[in-house]
Amino acid sequence: MNAAAGRFPTDSATKKRLAVAAVAAALAAAGAGWWLYWPRPAEPERAADAIAVDADGSLLLTRAQLQAQGLATAPATAATTLPVPGLPAQAAAPLEASVQVAAPYAGVVTRILVDEGATVRSGQPLARIQSREVLAAQSEQARARAEAAAAAQQARRDAALLAEGIIAAARLEQSQARHAAAQSALQQATGALAPLRAAAGGLAGEYELLAPMAGQVLRRNLAPGQAVAALDAAFLIAEPGPMDLNFSAPLRLRAAIAPGAPVRLPDGATARVVAVGADADPSSQSLRVRARIDAAANAHGALTAGQQFSVSLLLPAPDGAVAVPSTALLPAGDGHVLFVAVDEARGLRVRAVAVQVLGGDETASVVSVAAAPHGASVLQDGSTVVTRGTALLKSLLPLR
C-alpha cells in the first residue's frame, strides 16, 4: 500500500459518514431560513384592552373600543308629560258654536237654496218645503187672531158699560178673561210659525226654512222632492274656526285625564281637553273625551268636521320619570333594559339598568327605573344612555 492511499481513505463506511454530515448541514441551514422569514403569529390581546365585567356589574369601554364597536349615546331628560299615542279621534263642530236646523213641519222639499260649504247669515232662507201642516197652522193662527180681536173689542165695550153702570163688574171680569185666553192662543199659534217664513210667491203651505245663526253649512240632509217628517234634521251650521275633537281613551287613564290636558294632533297643533265622559263605552271599555282646538290653531282649515285621525294625549309624567330615545331600549323578559354610560378618564363605564316603560311616542319613551336599590340614582335627568350598539352590550353585560 502506498502513502497517498493511506491519507485519503476510500472505504464505504467513511463515505456514508460524509454523506450524513452533508445532509445535516443542509437541514440546519433550511431551518435557520424558516425561522428568519416565516410570518410570526399575532401577539395575544393585551389584558388592558380586553372587555371584562367588573365585580359591580359594570364594564369599562376604552375610546378605541367605543370607536371599534360603533357605540353612540344620547342624554336622558326629565319627563314632564307622558304621551299616550294612537288614540282614534274625529273632528266635530263645537257644541256651543253649532246648531242643528230641523224641519218644524212635515212636508216635501221643493227647493234647496244653499249647499254644503256655503256661508250664511242669521235669518237667511236655507230651503223651501211645502206642508199641509203649515196650512193647518196658518188657519189656526188666523182663527186665533180673529178671536183675540173680538175678545179685545168685547172687553173694551164691557169696560164702557161698567163705567155707565149698566153691567156688573163680574161681566167685565169674564170678558177680560176671555180676551187673555184669546191672546194666549194667538201667541201660541204665532210661535208655531216663528221658525219659518211663508215663501213669497210660493205654493200654498210652502214655507222657508231659516238659518238660526250665522256660520257655515257643514251638512245638508235634504234633496229636492224628498219627503221629510216633522223635526227631521235638515242642516248643520257652525261658526268657522274652532273645532272639537272626540276621541276614546283607555279606561285605566280615567283618574289622570282632566279638563285642560293637552292633546297633540298629527300636524303638531295642540288641543285642550274640555270634557271627560262619566261612563265607559260597554263594547270597547274606553272613555269618551272631547277636546277643543281654537280658531287660531285651525286658521287654515286643517281640520274638517267628520275627519278621522289619531292623536296623542299628553298626561302629567310621574315623579322621577325620565324620557329617553326609543332606540335605547331593549326587551328583557317582561320589561326593558337600557345602558347608562358614565364618562371616566380611560373611557365610558357602562351599566345595565332595568326600566319600566310608562308610555311614549315614535321618538321618545318615558320610563321609570324598575330595579331597586340604587337604580334611581343611576338614571336621572342628564344621564347618558347608549342608543346604538345596545345588542352587543346586552350580550356582554348581564343585568343584575
Phi-psi region of 256 (alpha: psi -120 to 50; beta: other; left: phi over 0): alpha
**Structural domain total, the chain:** 3
What's the pLDDT score for residue 115? 96
Distance CA 237, CA 117 (A): 9
Q: Per residue of the chain (400 residues), what is the pLDDT tens digit?
A: 444 444 444 455 555 565 545 545 555 554 544 444 444 444 444 433 556 677 777 888 888 888 888 889 999 999 999 999 999 999 998 888 899 999 989 999 999 999 999 999 999 999 999 999 999 988 999 999 999 999 999 999 999 998 988 889 999 899 999 999 999 999 998 888 876 788 888 888 899 999 999 999 999 999 999 999 999 999 999 988 788 999 999 998 898 899 999 999 988 888 999 999 989 888 888 999 999 987 776 666 678 888 999 999 999 998 889 999 999 999 888 889 999 999 888 888 898 888 999 888 877 899 998 755 444 467 889 999 999 988 888 887 766 5
Query: CA 130 to CA 204: how far, in whole Å?
Result: 7
Residue with cell 245638508: 220
Range of the domain at 352: 58-80+319-396
The grid cell for 344 is 371616566
Query: Of 313, 333, 361, which one is at a domain's C-terminal end?
Result: 313
48 in a structural domain: no
Q: What is the pLDDT of residue 14?
A: 53
292 found inside a domain: yes
The answer to whether position 103 is within a domain reads: yes
Examine the domain organization and report whether 215 and 347 are in the same domain. no
Tell me if 32 is assigned to some domain.
no
Residue 28 lies in a domain: no
Question: Residue 301: what pLDDT?
Answer: 64
Residue 248 domain flag: yes
15 domain residue, yes or no: no
What CATH number does the domain containing 308 carry? 2.40.30.170
Residue 43 is predicted with a pLDDT of: 44
Domain shared by 214 and 103, yes or no: yes
Same domain, 212 and 290: no
CB burial class (10 A; 0-12, 13-18, 19+) of residue 270?
middle
